[in-house]
Amino acid sequence: MSYDARFRVWRGDASGGDLQDFTVAVHEGEVVLDVVHRLQATQAGDLAVRWNCKAGKCGSCSAEINGRPRLMCMTRMSTFGEDETVTVTPLRGFPVIRDLVTDVSFNYDKAAQVPAFTPRPRDPDGNHRMQQVDVERSQEFRKCIECWLCQDTCHVIRDHEENKAAFAGPRFLIRLAELDMHPLDVVDRRDAAQDSFGLGYCNITKCCSEVCPEGIHLTDNGIIPLKERVVDRRFDPLTWLGSRIGRRRGDPGQGPSPK
């Protein structure tokens, strides 16, 4: 049931660092976070890692495992061969603070720029009435645990620090979509989505949906409908059609191509 696994963990800080090799015991049913905790307790007491719930609900223990953005608490060791080296590195999309901990303040800065939820008045009896089918669209996006894996993986900003000022990342595009679809909200955020949050930078490659641990269809259910709503408002249909046919990178309103 138990075996010794080979782990390579990135250790260092903003000034640099490298992968360090460890041999560490793994027991039945364990996840990568269990093994990282065992390293802390037995071999590297100061190994920095974020975590909270250890049940895939809080989105704290995000890292890249063999290069893939994942939650450490939801990555079972049984998905690797016993002779396979498991490499754990910090999220590449954000500056390193120390070891596996990165500076994710970018996300909190973008969150603060979202025009706040603003409800219509309550019904005379003090209640809000909404149908289940109408709340479910926004509920899908409210499942987001803010693990930032979508932000980490999105190629618009992953290796393009320069795009971060103009592009808020998939998490905040679905936040805007959530508010846009919210049955009670009365604010129009379509201009903000395009002009302040960089909706046009997204070229719907769906990488964000692929890494989402909550299985949220960010692109199909959130970003594409939001793009359609923006287009709907901004462009006359004929003009829009023309712009689609003749579209090339760098066209106004589409943003620079990230690739």
Partner 1 sequence: MELERHEYDVVVVGAGGAGLRAAIAAHEQGARTAVVCKSLLGKAHTVMAEGGIAAAMANLYPEDNWRVHFRDTMRGGKMLNHWRMAQLHAQEAPDRVRELEDWGALFDRTPDGLISQRDFGGHRYARLAHVGDRTGLELIRTLQQRTVALGIDVFMECTITRLLTDDEGVTGAFGYWRESGRFVAWQAPSVVLATGGIGKSYKVTSNSWEYTGDGHSLALQAGATLVNMEFVQFHPTGMVWPPSVRGILVTESVRGDGGVLRNSAGNRFMFDYIPDFFRKETAETEDEADRWYEDKKNNRRPPELLPRDEVARAINSEVKAGRGSPHGGVFLDIASRRSPEYIRKRLPSMYHQFKELAEVDITADPMEVGPTCHYVMGGVEVDPDTEASRVPGLFAAGEVAGGMHGSNRLGGNSLSDLLVFGRRAGLAAAEHAVKRSGAVALAEADLVEAARAALAPFEREGGENPYTVQHDLQQTMHDLVGIIRTAPEMEQALARIAELQERVATLSVEGHRQYNPGWHLALDLPHMLLVSECIARAALAREESRGGHTRDDFPATDAGWARTNLICSRAPDGSVALARQPLPEMPAELAEIFEETA
To partner 1, the closest distance from the beta carbon of 115 in angstroms equals 9
Nearer residue to partner 1 within complex by CB, 179 or 193 = 179
Question: Among residues 171 and 227, whose Cβ is nearest to partner 1?
Answer: 171
For partner 1, which is the closer residue by CB, 15 or 238?
15
CB of 199 to partner 1, least distance (A): 20
Measured from the CB of residue 127, what is the shortest distance to partner 1 in angstroms? 6
Q: How far is the CB of 203 from partner 1 (least distance, A)?
A: 28
Number of other residues whose CB lies within 10 A of the CB of residue 120: 10
DSSP calls for 165-192: TT---HHHHHHHHHHHH-TTB----HHH
Looking at the Cβ atoms of 160 and 217, the one nearer to partner 1 is: 217
Give the interface with partner 1 as residue ranges (CB under 8 A).
13, 27-31, 34, 40-42, 45-60, 74, 76, 97-99, 101, 104, 108, 111-112, 116-117, 119, 122, 126-132, 135, 138-139, 142-146, 179, 182, 184-185
Q: How far apart are CA 220 and CA 205, in angstroms?
A: 10
Other beta carbons within 10 Å of 130? 12
Helix (H) or strand (E) holding 150: helix 149-153
Least distance from C-beta 117 to partner 1, angstroms? Answer: 4
CA torsion, ordered 56, 60, 63, 69, to nearest 10 deg: 50
Phi, psi for 246 (deg, rounded to 5): -95, 10
Q: Which is nearer to partner 1, 98 or 160 (by Cβ)?
A: 98
Q: CA–CA separation, 177 vs 181, rounded Å?
A: 6
